[in-house]
A and B are shown apart, each in its own frame.
Chain A
Amino acid sequence: MTILIVAEHDNVELKASVLNTVTAGHKLEMEIHVLVAGRDCSAVAESAAKLIGVSKVLLVDAEIYQHGLSEDVASLVVSMAPNYSHILAPATSFGKNVMPRVAAQLDVAQVSDIVAIEAENTFVRPIYAGNALATVVSSDAIKVLTVRTTGFDACATSDAPAAIDSIPGLAGNNLSTLVSQELTKSARPELTAARVIVSGGRGMGSGENFALLEALADKLGAAVGASRAAVDSGFVPNDYQVGQTGKIVAPELYIAVGISGAIQHLAGMKDSKIIVAINKDEEAPIFQVADYGFVGDLFEAIPEFTNAI
């Protein structure tokens, strides 16, 4: 039995989410193939070939796969599915978009957002925004899974890369076209891949005040995140959002500044290794989950913190 992992990438770089997905693949103790479908994306295939445990990379280089449109990527995966017992992708906006299309064509139930693998057909996944964990058994012949990246460590790389096979794509479905992309440009690490995250909440008071957090983040090599309250108040764009309705993160260090700690925020960061909370309200629920709490004015504390590093 063999696993197929559908790689997420931007034609230039393999996304870090794939490294976690490969580790999930290791738990199944089967041969692992990785599909890289894109355009001019051989560098991505080369990165995928170096991941430990990957025995083959399938490279499909064609114009219709350039933007990872769900209809065309899903058709391609479905055409390859008969050779595989498990098809995995990261539970990111890419995997969430594509994989249910694959599962539906194969007429199998998808298991979304798995955080643990108990057996070849038994998986653990969060439900109710992470307030409960369900263990589910799939009886389908092909298991279609999306992997919550925080549930699995990133895999290592090897010096002996796997073979890369170029295979042809399919005819396009012509159902959708990309008009434009507006990606937030930042020199800081991506939220879901960062070792340290500095997040701000409503207590930041304004978008301008996020500069304080950015200064701290730059000293720490950290990503900057935000609570939904800060996003809804218009302080920062939505892709900063950590929480049930935003990104799910689990860095080594999460510093929550001016964040009260609503359940919806905790759902997105409670698996972080160390949590620091800085808030002037000592009753704030964030302190219930923080390893280290500091009660005080963030506008004094953050510059002091930044200078101390």
Chain B
Amino acid sequence: MKVIVPIKRVVDYNVKIRVKADQTDVETANVKMSMNPFDEIAVEEAVRLKEAGSVGEIIVVSVGVAACQETLRTALALGADRAIHVETDQETQPLGVANVLVKIVERETPQVVIMGKQAIDDDFNQTGQMLASKLGWSQATFASKVEVHDDVATVTREIDGGLETLKVKLPTVITTDLRLNEPRYVTLPNIMKAKKKVIDKVTPEELGVDVTPRLKTIKVTEPPERSAGQKVESIEQLMEKLKNEAKVI
């Protein structure tokens, strides 16, 4: 069974982002970039499924600028078998990426696509659902546990208020939540091995897909700052303030 794992290169989650002075975007020049953490969990899950014998080949795909190749190399070092880079300098948005992935899926015919539930830069949380929808496939979003069988997958999902377990028909799209697994560290020998693995390159135009963004961002601003309030000396004083000053108790 083949699995495709789409991955996105994003600003590293440890970076404290800054809004550009001209309010067009956040500053991404000279900022550390990494694989989207939810996608890293997706790669790890695919590798675990392969180690357990339910998956044969893992193909990672990334849509974006030339530097996405570094992110693909990381995924190869984590255990993916080969990679496809769909190169574009356009800003990538979920609908365009889903359209690209449809073409890749038609070419590669995987039974399962595993991907992050959302990217930590634009926070859209759409691409997996859109891909499943366009393919007419089942979906299991926000997964915290995944079992893949011959023609179905059993997936436990994180929902508001608890957990829910679904049985979805294959082929399917699964999106990962944080607690699905803890991704392994990349080791030096695996980085060396990853250098020999193949990254195929293709463009959206060659796939016949228009990735022009459909949403236009007209402004990016800082959120309103909260300022530190006052320290209270005792619980008694706190109670008094909450009652008489804030009037919330």
Write the residues of chain A forming the contact surface with B, with a CB cutoff of 8 angstroms.
Answer: 69-71, 74, 92-94, 96-105, 107-113, 122, 125-140, 173-184, 190, 192, 196, 220, 237-239, 245, 247, 252-253, 263, 270, 273-276, 287-295, 301, 304-305, 308-309
Contact = CB atoms under 8 A, between A and B. Distances in A.
A272 to B, nearest CB: 9
B133 A104 contact: yes
Contacts of B52: none
Could you tell me the dominant secondary structure of chain B's interface residues?
A: mixed
A132 B26 contact: yes
Contact of A139 (B131, B216, B236, B246): B216
14 contacts: A94-B159, A97-B141, A100-B128, A104-B131, A113-B125, A135-B221, A136-B218, A181-B164, A190-B160, A245-B178, A274-B242, A292-B242, A292-B246, A294-B235
Interface in B218-243: 218-223, 226-232, 234-236, 238-239, 241-242
Contacts of B134: 104-105
Contacts of A94: 159-160
Q: 3 closest pairs, A vs B, by CB? A: A100-B129, A175-B138, A104-B130
B138 A176 contact: yes
A290 B229 CA distance: 6
B109 to A, nearest CB: 18
A196 B160 CA distance: 18
Given A100-B126, A127-B121, A134-B217, 15 more contacts: A70-B139, A71-B139, A100-B133, A126-B223, A128-B120, A135-B217, A139-B216, A178-B164, A178-B166, A182-B163, A247-B160, A290-B228, A292-B232, A292-B238, A294-B231
Interface of B: 11, 16-17, 19, 26, 93-95, 98, 120-134, 137-142, 144, 154, 157-169, 178-179, 213-223, 226-232, 234-236, 238-239, 241-242, 246, 248-249
B217 A180 contact: no
Given A252-B248, A292-B230, A111 B215 contact: yes
A108 B215 CA distance: 9
B248 A274 contact: yes
B123 A113 contact: yes
Contacts of A122: 218
Nearest to B37: A245
A77 to B, nearest CB: 11
B139 A291 contact: no
A6 B216 CA distance: 25
Given A109-B95, A263-B16, A179 B248 contact: no
A192 B169 CA distance: 32
Contacts of B168: 175-176
B158 A93 contact: yes
Nearest to B135: A104
A97 B157 CA distance: 11
The residue among B142, B162, B167, B241 with the most chain A CB atoms within 10 A of its own CB is B162
A151 B179 CA distance: 27
A70 to B, nearest CB: 6
The residue among B121, B178, B213 with the most chain A CB atoms within 10 A of its own CB is B178
A184 B159 CA distance: 11
A130 B239 contact: no
B126 to A, nearest CB: 4
B162 to A, nearest CB: 4
Contacts of A173: 138
A261 B127 CA distance: 31
Given A190-B161, A273-B248, A291 B230 contact: yes
Contact of B95 (A103, A245, A287, A304): A103
Given A127-B123, A179-B165, A301-B235, A135 B219 contact: yes
A308 B235 CA distance: 8
Contacts of B158: 93, 238-239
